[in-house]
Structure formats: C-alpha cells, structure tokens
Chain A
Amino acid sequence: MYGNLSIVDTPAGQQAADDPELLAAFEARIDRGEKIEPHDWMPAEYRRQLIRMIEQHAHSEIIGALPEGTWITRAPGFKRKMALMAKVQDEVGHAQLLYSAAETLGKPREAMIDDLLSGKSKYSNVFNYPALTWADTAVIAWLIDAGAIINQHTNAKGSYGPYCRALARICIEESFHLKYGYDNVVTLATGTPTQRAMLQEALNRWWGPIMHFHGPPDKVSQHTEKLVRWKVKMATNDAMRQEFLDTYVPKIWELGLTVPDPNLRKNEETGEWEFSDPDWDEFKRVINGDGPCNAERLAVRRMAEEQGRWVRQALRKPNHAYVAPLS
C-alpha cells in the first residue's frame, strides 16, 4: 500500500551535468517505451529519485503492516483471522520485493532501514493514523488498498524495469486485499446495528487520510517536468484522486454509508468530482512527524530492529562483499 508520490525532494545542490550523448540515448529509450535495467547508464538524478521513491514505498509496506497487524490477534473467527494474517504477510512480502528493487540501484537494505528509523526517509502518511476498531481494518483493506492499487497500476507503467516488475506482482496481491476488504465491509454494512455503526465511524475517521492519500493538489505539488519525461512520475495526484472517487464513492453510497463531506458530488458537466479541500496543513504536519502514531510506528520498528540485531549479526559473513541483487 502506498501513496504520497508527491513528496519529491529537490536536489540539495548542483549535480555534475550528465553526458549529453548518453542522456539523449537514455531519453530516447524511454520515449520508445523501453525499460531501464540496473546495469544500464542512467542520470544520477534518475537514480536518486527512484531510490527515494522505491524506498519510501518499501517503508510504507512494513509500517503499513503495523496498524492492521495488531488486529490479527483479535480477528473474529477462523476465516477473518486466516485472511488477515495472509494479507498482512503479503504487505511484508511487498516490502521485501521493493527493498530488493531499490537495492538494484545501489543502496543496501540496512541503509534504507537506518534512514527510516532516523526519520530521514518517509513512508505513506496514512499509517500514522490508528486503527481503533475492527471496522477500521475493513476500511483500510478496502479503500486504502484501493487507493494504493490506482497508484501502483500507474507506476507499473514507469521506466525502471525492476520496479515495474515488482509492482506488477504487488498489484495482483493488492487486488485480493481489496476483495477481502470489500467482503469485510459488506459483512459489517449488512450486519447488526452495532456493526454498521462501527463501520460508519471508521469511515468517518479514515475519510481525511483517504483524501490525503494521493498527495496535495497538482497546483501546489512540486514535481518536475523531468520526472514525468523520465517516466518516474506517471500520473498527477489529482487524476489519481479523481479515479479513486469515481470508482469507490458510488460503491460506498450503494452500501448505505455516508461520506463525511457535505460538498462531495460529481459535477455531471465536467465529469469531475467536487469535494471540500482536505486539511493540507494537517497532512504536512503528520508527514513531518507530528501525527497521532508517528512516534509509536517508528518505536515499534526500532524495537524490532534492535531485538533482531543479534540474529542478523549471526548470519553475517565478514568475507562476503555486498552485491546489489539483479531483479
């Protein structure tokens, strides 16, 4: 699960200019729809942005395992317990695939984890919110995963081969998560009044984070034309948000649930969805560390890293050099 494509950092300083001939050949390959592979020449900025993006995606998967993971031990009944275990396991598996894809660009997994724990590297903002009830896990598995699928399907058409291949596999699993989440939501929506109320409250809580999911509106989002040309960034935040609303709001309404936004409606003339502007100051605050669960998420991750260190050290072979994997 991943969003926040919009967090594009600007280069810290002037970088050495790329060889114009190599750059032209590289861009021509991308124009022809070819994939760039790990040992191909690539501009330093392309490498840097991809590492940052894939790494953030990988972090989002392992941090994303935490809010739902805490409900594995409380899932009601064999069917849900089994499905939730498998779902969260998939997310951890996605992290593994993505760290491997990022490693092909030359940054080892340990270095990426270090940057996550130090706060240098970000992850999807939605996971800084708590899953307060069982119904929250249903809403996450349906709507957050749905948002992630839109994002990942789009990115799977990008230019970097290993990332695209990882995303293709991830999307197949995510579509099962979405089915699981929807089934769970339908069960609650058609269940007892208590179950229904629990679901509506969860949806109310998650609507803000869901609207934040694809990042700030294009008019304020800082992404460069170059990243679009290099097929690192594949679609605008607004376009992805519109696609999400167009597919899922009718389904939400169909279940008799309400969306906590009185201004949400589809403008039949433009075909675009209109909605109240989500609180983008909150979005920025949470990304920068001041959300309800930022500290807790990183603390859990840090604890797992520290407690497992002896195991990783016992596996280390001092004579083996680090080799970036091929994907």
Chain B
Amino acid sequence: MNEAAITDLITRLADDALIIAHRNSEWTGLGPMLEEDIAFSSIAQDKLGHAQALYNILHTNFGQPDPDTVAFTRNEAQFRCCHLVELPIGDYAFSLIRHFLHDAAEWVRYEALEQSTVVPLAQLARKIKGEIKYHLFHAKTWVVQLGAQGNEESHARMQSALNETFPLALGMFEPSEFDGELAAAGIYPGEGQVQQRWLELIAPVLEQATLRMPLVEGADLAASYGGRKGYHTVHLQPMLNEMAEVYRIDPAAEW
C-alpha cells in the first residue's frame, strides 16, 4: 500500500482537528453564556486529543516526528487542513454553523474509518466517534434552537452564517489524488462519497431548523479548495505564529 496516501489522509484529519480545536478554544471566556464557554472548551479539548492521537499514529507507524514537533513547527504550506477550520471565531452564529457542518463531516468520516483496513486508524475512529456523537448532538440542538425556536433575528443570523459558510464547508471534501487508491484498498471511501453522506446527514437537521440549504440542484457553488494541497487563507499563518510563540523560544527545551 502507498504510504503517502495513508499519511496524507491522516495528516488531513489531524490538521483539521488541531486547527478547529484551537479556534474553538478561543471562545473560552467570551461565549454568549457561561454554559457555551464551557461546551466549546470541552469540544476543543476532545478535538485537540484527536489531533494528538492521529499525529501519534503517524509518529509510531509511519516514522514522522513526534506530535509536538509536527503541530508546533510546521509552516502553513505544510498543513493540509481545509479553509473552513482556519477562520477566526467571528460571531457565534458562524462558529455554531461551522461546528455543525464540520462535526457532521467528522461523524461521516469516522463512521467510514471504523471499517478501515489501517488497523490503528480503525481503532482510533471507534474511540473518536463516541465523542463526536456528543459534539454533533450539541451542534444540532443549538442550530435547531436558534433557527426554528428563537426569534426573527436569530433565524436571520443563522441563515446568513449558513450561506457564507457553505462554500468553505464544501472545501472539506476537496478531492484527493489518492481517493481511488484509498477506496480500492478499503482504507477510506473517498471524499466524493463522504460528501454525499454528509449532505444526507445535514439536510433533515437544516429542515428542522427551518434553514434553507444553500446548495440547490443545478446551482454551482464554488467550493473553497486548496487547503488539502497547502494553499491556505490569510488566517492560518498568523494563527500558527501565535500557537508556536512560546514553543519557538526554544523548541529543544522541555515545556
């Protein structure tokens, strides 16, 4: 099996988890209510753990550096995260819609990865899925609450956040040159199939939230691609600089 295909897949998953964890943690102390501060922090901690575990697979099984080195010393061109996770937290409506769209995709991915022929990845997927279940439950509850059971303003804010976020969300499924190979080897079904299942998962929730899915039959929405090839938004490198500010004082030191 082509090792590059597997490491590319795991790097994408890990980088998404690390960057979204970092972004979600930025709500600490700033949430619309204390309970949401706490929820976003819990979710961030889980996702940081997922990133670390995925980098650990790369370290243990594929000869890559340790998780700290991988996470804290690479530059943006070496990252394979999608654009969706890179954006600053913005308004709560954006962070919530991102949380919903992103975690629904994670759910679909890890559900598929449970069957992966890469054993350590399949084992980890089972563990991670148990946590994503609650992340998605949290996201769905709030999306429906603010979409359908709030007021006119909350509905409008949610709909416009959804409209703005959707092209970025489609960027999560940027096709990979390894898709065919990964599917044939029973490692991962490929981004096309994952995107299809994702649409099926989010559609009934958006309907329940009385929100209109921006992707309509026949319309061509430009997906925000490039992240999986190392081309990123202007937000990633400054975030990485901030993340590594202390670590880079002395990367050889123990912190």
Cβ A187 vs Cβ B255 within 8 A: yes
* Chain-B contact segment, one of A10-18, A147-155, A191-199, A237-245: A191-199
Mostly helix, strand, loop or mixed at chain A's interface?
helix
Mostly helix, strand, loop or mixed at chain B's interface?
helix
A95 to B34, CA, bound (A): 8
Cβ B255 vs Cβ A76 within 8 A: yes
A69 at the binding interface (Cβ < 8 Å): yes
Cβ B45 vs Cβ A86 within 8 A: yes
Cβ A92 vs Cβ B38 within 8 A: yes
* Residues of A272-316 contacting chain B, CB below 8 A: 300, 303-304, 307-315
Pick from B37, B38, B72: contact of A77, CB under 8 Å: B72
Nearest-Cβ distance from residue A309 to partner chain B, whole angstroms: 8
Cβ B243 vs Cβ A311 within 8 A: no
Cβ B243 vs Cβ A310 within 8 A: no
**1/0 contact string of B39-80 vs chain A (CB within 8 Å):** 001101100110110000000000000011001100000000
Cβ B44 vs Cβ A77 within 8 A: no
Cβ B92 vs Cβ A311 within 8 A: yes
Pick from B35, B151, B242, B250: contact of A73, CB under 8 Å: B242
Cβ B48 vs Cβ A73 within 8 A: no
Cβ B242 vs Cβ A74 within 8 A: yes
How many residues on chain B are close to A (CB under 8 Å)?
A: 47
Cβ A307 vs Cβ B151 within 8 A: no
Closest 7 CB pairs of A and B: A308-B32, A314-B150, A314-B154, A311-B32, A76-B255, A89-B41, A76-B247
Q: Beyond A194-B249, A194-B250, A194-B253, list 16 extra A-B contacts (CB 8 Å).
A: A72-B25, A76-B72, A77-B255, A78-B51, A82-B45, A85-B44, A86-B45, A89-B28, A92-B34, A96-B34, A99-B34, A195-B253, A310-B32, A311-B154, A314-B151, A315-B145
Contact residues of A with B, CB < 8 Å?
A: 62, 65-66, 69, 72-78, 80-82, 85-86, 88-89, 92-93, 95-96, 99, 134, 187, 191-192, 194-195, 300, 303-304, 307-315
